[in-house]
Amino acid sequence: MEKDSEEKEGHCKKGVTRRGFLQLMGAGAAASVTTGTLAAEPTPEVVTPGEMSKVSLQVNGRRHRILIEPRWSLLYVIREKLGLTGTKVGCERGECGACTVLINGQPRYACLILAAEAEGTEITTLEGLMKGEDLGPVQQAFVENDAFQCGYCTPGQIMAVEGLLRANPNPSAEEIRQGMSGNLCRCGAYPNIFNAVRRAAELKKVAGGA
């Protein structure tokens, strides 16, 4: 009775007991090892690079004519092909703002823009804010207000401030919060960043809106 009860409990819908199922699977595994089918793995498909195309990118006032793949992001081209590493790689999905650059004066996430899409625009990176070896007003304001800790998000923060002040030279506190809402600082340096925005606005006025 105990044996009959065990078999009934282990009975599946197709009439195979647990014991029978395990025996069947064991026999199948042994056969696979014998024939070598387990060792045969499918060969992964090799994806060949896309056809290269020529683009002309205007970056920091300088024109670059380069070959790119259509799938390359502007972030990848700026860093890996042009060597402008001030633009940082963050989330690569438009959430953190570390890769912020200016496209025709407006802050944009470089990770979400294909390099081919940026042709015909004016691109400005962190390096483009400097005057030779001198820091730009926003960069100087960040230094004066200690508006960073680890510093990784700082280039994107600076570019967002630059774009904000170009559109609105004298933003209110609420406008600063809105303008900087797309840039995350995991260190939590927001109070100093907001102070740096106000200082940058002052420095830009002194410099004649530069």
Task: Give CA separation, 119 vs 52, 122, 208, in Å.
Answer: 15, 8, 30
**Residue 9 pLDDT greater than 80, yes or no:** no
Q: Is the pLDDT of residue 21 over 70?
A: no
Positive or negative: CA dihedral 144, 145, 146, 152: negative
Reported as a single tens digit per residue, the pLDDT across 44-75 is 555 455 689 999 999 999 999 999 999 999 99
Q: Between 190-206 and 154-167, two packed helices, what is the crossing angle to 10 degrees?
A: 50
- Chain centroid to CA 100: 10
Q: Find the mean pLDDT for residues 67-93.
A: 97
Full set of structural domains in the chain with CATH: 50-126 (3.10.20.30), 130-210 (1.10.150.120)
pLDDT of 205 above 90 = yes
pLDDT at 16 over 70: no
| Tens digit of each residue's pLDDT (9 = 90 or more) over 121-159 | 999 999 999 999 999 999 999 999 999 999 999 999 999
